[in-house]
Amino acid sequence: MRGGTYWLLLLPILFLSMFFFFPLFSILVEGLTAEGGRLTLVHLLSVVTDTYSLRVIGFTAWQAVVSTLTSILLGLPGAYILARFDFRGKSLIKALTTVPFVLPSIIVVLGFVIFFGNNGFLNRAIMAVAKIDEPPLKILYSMRAIILAHTFYNFPICIRLVSSIWSRINPNLERAARSLGARGLTLFTRVTLPQLLPGILAAAALIFIFCFTSFAIILVLGGGPKYTTIEVAIYHFAKVNLDLKSASAFAVIESILSMGFMWGYIKLQQKASFAEGSGREQERIPLSALFKGPWGVLAVLYLIVAFLVIVAPMLTAAGNSFLRRSGWAGNTAFSFFWYKMLFFETKTSAFSVSYLTAIKNSLFFGLVTVLFSLPLGTLIAYVTTKRRFFGQGLFEAVAMLPLGISAIILGLGYIRAYQHLPWDITGKWYAIAFAHTIIAYPFVIRSTSAVFRKIDPSLLRAAMSLGANRLKAFLTVELPLIKSGLIAGATFAFAISIGEINATLMLYNPNLVTIPIAIYRLIGAYNYFAACALGTILMLICFAVFLLIDKLGFEVT
């Protein structure tokens, strides 16, 4: 490895060492030491040999597998529609399907309770039509609720990644197969599916990681010890039982597993990136063709299911933001009251900061996260795609590790790592900004590395043969070519930051309330209508950001 590569790696290594590995180490060391500070494997062995712990690990993997399969199954038809059909409002649909991925889990829980709950919109509608007194759909607080919520969250990954590849499958291959008699399912399984498989597997790997490390969805919608996952076990051991040793031992196990998952995801992502650039844009088909023939009924059924699972919870939450109840037991009426409160202080026992302040704080952290994560993620993407060095695969897996580490553990790590040092950062704005950067920069790597791999090396050689040094060649040749990846990475970093709640909950102070924190506190005060109003604002911000990117013609994958 050349010396220049060492210098390029120095900045990301220093940043990750200070704001990821040091806090993580401060927590994980608890699981590997005895009370007197002596190194021990007792706590770790107790996790891997205990029947309860093994059941927790097994259920964590099982629900992640099922959630991944449902997310892929729901996402593939959507990816096909966006890739192969042309219709008005396509940018709106693409932006709308990306919003669930960046919503805070607290909004997902709220939307699902309001729509799918026993007294939710769906059950009340069915009861009114069927004239029955009991709710027919008892979805919440079960495995079904967990799977539905994870599907809501993660199907955008499948749609975005797979549709990008699907739209670039070489049409000549399909024409040749048709000329040889291949039709329908045979054409798909023999020609199309092999080309899509790298993207499907990469999307599945990433979805599995997110479902494996899911926390709030399991905690709230699972409804009991039967559905405990590793994340929930860590939370209960650390916050309820005050057993930090066991919590840290679970965190060690989760980190080891996440490292392996990250390595597998990186390999699949590389194959998906190559597949994405292997063809050219296909001709678009009018959407009306989708509803012709025997497949039309299935298309309609798919759109109904997608609406119920994806759009309806968000619309229900938005609709409730325009309701206000007169007293605890009074009737509800249409009102803009909660939106008017954006510009006033609302002092209650649960919320003493104006909504507008929470919005400003979220926008501030979103912009700062972009400023920090964009150069960090781009530099890592550049080194790992354009340079070759010993241990490159390991470094890539380590760099992507924050995707598989609990944000709660990260926030707790900041507190434990820095509270006894002279430069305690807990409660400071930059602690939240650093935590958001750690959570967001892997998405910048994903976006920029995909476009780095598409750059023809001959362009760089030509620039350098004309006298440009390596830095000038990057600035004049590569930087303009990766613009779409930079904008896509910045988009995700911003959206993920304004929706992040877990690490923020551990690190914020009363002056640094963000939209998700405000929603959490409003729900705690049973002010669901106000929570829905802030949630609607958050959804609109995310929707506007992704709509702008699609209008500019950039792929967010």
d(CA 127, CA 115): 14
Residues 179 and 235 in one domain: yes
Q: What is the number of structural domains in the chain?
A: 2
**Domain membership flag for residue 196:** yes
Residues 285 and 394 in one domain: no
**Domain membership flag for residue 394:** yes
Residues 171 and 75 in one domain: yes
Q: Treating both helix axes as pointing N-terminal to C-terminal, what angle do 3-16 and 392-399 enclose, rounded to 10 degrees?
A: 30
Each as own residue / partner, the long-range contacts of residues 31-34 (CB below 8 Å, 24 or more positions apart, any chain) are: 31/245, 31/246, 31/247, 31/248, 31/249, 31/250, 31/251, 31/252, 32/248, 32/252
**Domain membership flag for residue 138:** no
**Domain membership flag for residue 467:** yes
Q: Report which residue type is found at 273.
A: S
Q: Burial level of 206, CB count in 10 A (0-12/13-18/19+)? A: buried
**Domain membership flag for residue 157:** yes
CB 364: neighbour CB atoms within 10 A?
Answer: 17
Task: Please check whether residue 288 is in contact with residue 68, taking contact to mean a CB–CB distance below 8 angstroms.
Answer: no
Residues 13 and 85 in one domain: no
Residues 403 and 514 in one domain: yes
Residues 261 and 353 in one domain: no
d(CA 522, CA 531): 6
Residues 535 and 513 in one domain: yes
Q: Which of 300, 323, 353 is the last residue of a domain?
A: 300
Residues 9 and 78 in one domain: no
Helix (H) or strand (E) holding 113: helix 105-116
Q: Which of 300, 330, 358 is the last residue of a domain?
A: 300
Helix (H) or strand (E) holding 334: strand 332-334
**Domain membership flag for residue 308:** no
Q: Which of 300, 330, 354 is the last residue of a domain?
A: 300
- Distance between first and last Cα of the chain: 31
**Domain membership flag for residue 130:** no
pLDDT of residue 497: 92
pLDDT of residue 73: 92
Q: DSSP readout, 371-391?
A: HHHHHHHHHHHHHHHH---TT
Task: Please check whether residue 399 is in contact with residue 224, taking contact to mean a CB–CB distance below 8 angstroms.
Answer: no
**Domain membership flag for residue 212:** yes
Tally of residues, the chain = 557
Tens of each residue's pLDDT in the chain, 557 residues? 455 566 777 888 899 999 999 988 887 777 777 766 677 777 777 777 888 888 999 999 999 999 999 999 988 988 888 888 877 777 777 777 777 777 777 777 778 888 888 888 888 888 888 888 888 888 877 888 899 889 888 888 888 788 878 877 777 777 777 777 767 677 777 778 888 888 888 889 889 988 888 887 887 777 667 888 888 888 788 767 777 777 778 888 887 887 778 777 777 776 665 555 445 555 667 767 777 767 778 888 888 888 888 888 888 888 888 988 766 556 788 888 888 877 665 554 445 557 888 888 999 999 999 999 999 999 898 888 877 777 777 787 788 888 777 787 788 788 778 776 766 677 788 889 999 999 999 989 888 887 777 777 777 677 777 776 767 777 777 777 778 788 888 888 898 898 888 888 778 887 888 988 888 788 777 788 888 888 888 888 888 877 776 665 555 44
190 Cβ contact list (under 8 Å, min separation 6): 177, 182
Residues 28 and 53 in one domain: no
Residues 216 and 148 in one domain: yes
Q: Which domain holds residue 65?
A: 41-100+144-300
Residues 272 and 396 in one domain: no
Residues 277 and 366 in one domain: no
Which CATH number fits the domain that encloses residue 367? 1.10.3720.10
